[in-house]
């Protein structure tokens, strides 16, 4: 739109419109050559006629008057002039005031005031009353150059309306009944002009400020994106010669001040927890919505690549078992993600902390099925086929009804529908939940997530972490311990004592059986997520005998690929957020 591109032209156009409405003709009061003005002829339009050289025809009757001879008038012969339509109330009373009460005056703009009969040097506001008291006075005007009030008492002759902006106001005496018809029309015309002018000005100003607002908003968004791209945020990481380029214009952006106020300046009282990425705070926005703010730590291994990966992936995913991402913040060298608030925190908080509320088996089974439905959506039903790569209890959030929500998509990857697997040169993930082919060879696929899900199922059934075993227990981890008891037909002894009711024992053992099928060493032996969901939903689905679980044999060498010995001593639930380079292999 031309006005949005150049606001100065919009203002200039508005000024022209205003001048045009107020003065449609920019001519002078009199023609430079008086001899060429047809109105210079005395009484050209006869009695009670007005001449205007710029109009056609040049002669018109004064308001309240009609042509004396209509046929002559229409033929261009105006000498016979005009006659009054309605007689004056005091006409013929020779100056008495009683009859003058029904008369009034109608103002005409830009008139030539000549040939007046009398004048009076009194103030202008008394001219009308002085003329009204004299029935012989048919018109009056005022000249502030020293003449004062001017009065016309005989037939009104030789009136001329100037086409320019000069001239004076002439007031014609008319009957009171004529005023009710003539004055409103004139006022209505003026009001219309004023309304048009005001409307044009208001619309023009509105368009101008709207344009400025749009430019301002776009400028702020562009500045935020440029800061992210050019490295003005300390969270930006460069890989080789290319910077990570992102576009956040279509994603909700929160300001740092809004989040600071919502979390009470990121107070310890509002702190929900802390992971390898940084702390998470509870916050409340001005509209009453409760949120969870993940504030990425500068010291964490999770950089801008993982941040943008989560923003772009989870913003396109919608499922009841996936956590909702409301927006993000990139400001003041801060990088934050804003999620829906989960009142019951994460699964590991209740599963492994003996002091917390006990999760009964009905809740645990609902959590297992919800996680499986979320994975099925990621692998098969969403527009993007996604491999999560970091499925673990701390990344399973629980809402007010204990429904599970898969979170933390920082290391998730889009997976081609025709790909058998994807290989990476560096492995990222969490010790104890990585599939063997991924930990040893850097190959991940849907079956990698199935393996992590199997570990989750066994942890939920037993109430123990996969990495909580020591040398005294004779097993490398939970997988080896369950596999050993399975072969001895004694797996029921591993059920979490808090849920070891005989009523659910058979159902729990069946879930542990499904978990063992998911953690088999070879990817081809593991079931798909859709098959797992069918096994969970129907007891009539026959389960095959599981093969040996991965990592079920005790090793003395390092088993966590991508970590050092010092990293193995750290908390087992932390993620290894290393940058990966992906290589695609065809089927």
Cα(123)–Cα(267) distance, integer angstroms: 78
Cα(313)–Cα(446) distance, integer angstroms: 17
Direct distance between the N- and C-terminal alpha carbons of the chain, in angstroms, rounded to an integer: 52
Q: How confident is the model over 515-533, as a mean pLDDT?
A: 93
Q: What is the pLDDT of residue 299?
A: 54
Q: Which pLDDT tens digit goes with each residue over 105-135?
A: 988 888 888 888 888 888 888 999 999 888 8
> Which domains are seen in the chain, by residue range?
2-188 (no CATH), 243-340 (3.30.200.20), 347-586 (1.10.510.10)
Neighbour tally for 298: CB within 10 Å:
11
Catalytic annotation, pick one of 390, 449, 496, 560: 390
Distance of CA 205 to the CA centre of its chain: 23
Q: What is the pLDDT of residue 362?
A: 93
Residue 584 has pLDDT above 60, yes or no: no
Strands (DSSP E) along 206-284, which ranges? 238-239, 242-243, 271-275, 278-284
| DSSP H/E element including 515 | helix 505-518
Residue 508: name the closest of 525, 491, 520 by CA: 491
Q: What is the pLDDT of residue 415?
A: 64
Per-residue pLDDT band for 252 (boundaries 50, 70, 90) equals confident
Per-residue pLDDT band for 557 (boundaries 50, 70, 90) equals very low
Cα(110)–Cα(101) distance, integer angstroms: 28
Residue 43 has pLDDT above 70, yes or no: yes
Cα(110)–Cα(167) distance, integer angstroms: 4
Predicted TM-score (pTM) of this structure: 0.54
Per-residue pLDDT band for 355 (boundaries 50, 70, 90) equals confident
Residue 367 has pLDDT above 90, yes or no: yes
Q: What is the pLDDT of residue 229?
A: 38
CA of 105: how far to CAs of 19, 92, 94, 237, in Å? Answer: 29, 18, 19, 84
Per-residue pLDDT band for 373 (boundaries 50, 70, 90) equals very high
Q: What is the pLDDT of residue 328?
A: 85
What's the half-sphere exposure (Cβ side, CA atoms, 13 Å) at 582? 15
Neighbour tally for 1: CB within 10 Å:
8
Q: How confident is the model over 518-526, as a mean pLDDT?
A: 93
> Tokens in use for 102?
């029904």
What are the contacts of 353-359 at 24+ separation with CB within 8 A? 358/498, 358/499, 359/402, 359/498, 359/499
Strands (DSSP E) along 26-167, which ranges? 49-51, 59-61, 65-67, 82-84, 103-111, 118-120, 139-143, 148-152, 159-160
Phi, psi of 433 (to 5 degrees): -120, 0
| DSSP H/E element including 409 | none
Strands 65-67 and 290-295: unpaired
Phi, psi of 389 (to 5 degrees): 75, -5
The question of whether 390 is a catalytic residue gets the answer yes
Contacts of 216 (CB under 8 A, 6+ apart): none
Cα(399)–Cα(394) distance, integer angstroms: 14
Residue 30: name the closest of 99, 114, 150, 91 by CA: 114
What mean pLDDT value characterizes the chain? 77
> Tokens in use for 136?
């012989």
Q: Which pLDDT tens digit goes with each residue over 390-414?
A: 899 988 999 999 999 998 877 777 7
Ramachandran region, residue 44 (left: φ > 0; alpha: ψ -120 to 50; beta: rest): alpha
DSSP assignments along 461-476, one per residue:
HH---TT---GGGT-S
Cα(386)–Cα(413) distance, integer angstroms: 6
Residue 101 has pLDDT above 60, yes or no: no
- In sequence order, which ranges of 377-405 are alpha helices (DSSP H)? none
**206 near 11, Cβ under 8 Å?**
no
């Amino acid at each position: 739109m031309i006005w949005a591109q150049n606001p100065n032209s919009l203002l200039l156009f508005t000024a022209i419109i205003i001048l045009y409405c107020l003065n449609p003709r920019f001519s002078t009061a009199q023609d430079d050559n008086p001899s060429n003005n047809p109105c210079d002829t005395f009484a050209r339009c006869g009695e009670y006629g007005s001449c205007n050289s710029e109009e056609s025809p040049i002669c018109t009757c004064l308001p309240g008057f009609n042509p004396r001879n209509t046929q002559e008038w229409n033929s261009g012969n105006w000498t016979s002039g005009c006659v009054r339509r309605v007689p004056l109330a005091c006409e013929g009373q020779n100056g008495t005031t009683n009859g003058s009460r029904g008369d009034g005056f109608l103002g005409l703009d830009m008139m030539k005031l000549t040939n007046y009969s009398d004048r009076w040097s009194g103030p202008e506001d008394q001219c009308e009353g002085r003329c009204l008291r004299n029935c012989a006075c048919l018109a009056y005007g005022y000249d502030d150059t020293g003449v004062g009030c001017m009065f016309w008492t005989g037939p009104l002759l030789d009136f001329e309306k100037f086409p320019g902006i000069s001239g004076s106001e002439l007031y014609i005496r008319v009957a009171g009944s004529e005023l009710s018809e003539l004055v409103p029309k004139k006022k209505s015309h003026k009001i219309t002009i004023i309304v048009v002018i005001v409307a044009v000005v208001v619309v023009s100003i509105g368009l101008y400020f709207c344009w400025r607002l749009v430019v301002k908003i776009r400028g702020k968004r562009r500045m935020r994106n440029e800061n992210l791209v050019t490295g003005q945020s300390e969270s930006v990481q460069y890989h080789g010669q290319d910077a990570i380029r992102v576009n956040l214009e279509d994603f909700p952006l929160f300001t740092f001040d809004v989040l600071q106020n919502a979390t009470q300046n990121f107070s310890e009282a509002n702190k929900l927890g802390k992971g390898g990425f940084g702390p998470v705070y509870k916050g409340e926005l001005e509209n009453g919505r409760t949120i969870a703010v993940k504030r990425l730590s500068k010291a964490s291994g999770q950089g801008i690549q993982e941040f943008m990966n989560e923003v772009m992936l989870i913003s396109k995913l919608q499922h009841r078992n996936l956590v909702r991402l409301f927006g993000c913040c990139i400001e003041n060298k801060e990088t934050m993600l804003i999620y829906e608030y989960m009142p019951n925190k994460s699964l590991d908080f209740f599963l492994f902390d003996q002091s917390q509320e006990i999760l009964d088996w009905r809740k645990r089974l609902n959590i297992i099925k919800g996680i499986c439905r979320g994975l099925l959506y990621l692998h098969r039903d969403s527009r993007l086929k996604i491999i999560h790569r970091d499925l673990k209890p701390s990344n399973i959030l629980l809402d007010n009804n204990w429904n599970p929500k898969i979170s933390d998509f920082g290391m998730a990857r889009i997976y081609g529908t025709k790909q058998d697997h994807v290989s990476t040169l560096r492995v990222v993930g969490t010790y104890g939940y990585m599939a063997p082919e991924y930990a040893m060879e850097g190959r991940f696929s849907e079956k990698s997530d199935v393996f992590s899900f199997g570990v989750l199922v066994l942890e939920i059934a037993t109430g123990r972490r996969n990495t909580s075993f020591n040398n005294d227990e004779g097993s490398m981890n939970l997988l080896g311990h369950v596999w050993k008891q399975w072969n001895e037909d004694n797996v029921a002894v591993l059920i979490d004592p808090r849920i070891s009711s005989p009523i659910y024992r058979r159902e729990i053992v069946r879930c542990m059986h499904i978990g063992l099928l998911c953690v088999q060493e070879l990817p081809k032996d593991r079931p798909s997520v859709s098959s797992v969901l069918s096994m969970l939903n129907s007891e009539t689905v026959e389960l095959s005998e599981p093969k040996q679980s991965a990592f079920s044999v005790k090793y003395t060498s390092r088993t966590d690929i991508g970590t050092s010995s010092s990293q193995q001593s750290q908390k087992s639930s932390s993620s290894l957020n290393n940058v990966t380079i992906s290589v695609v292999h065809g089927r």
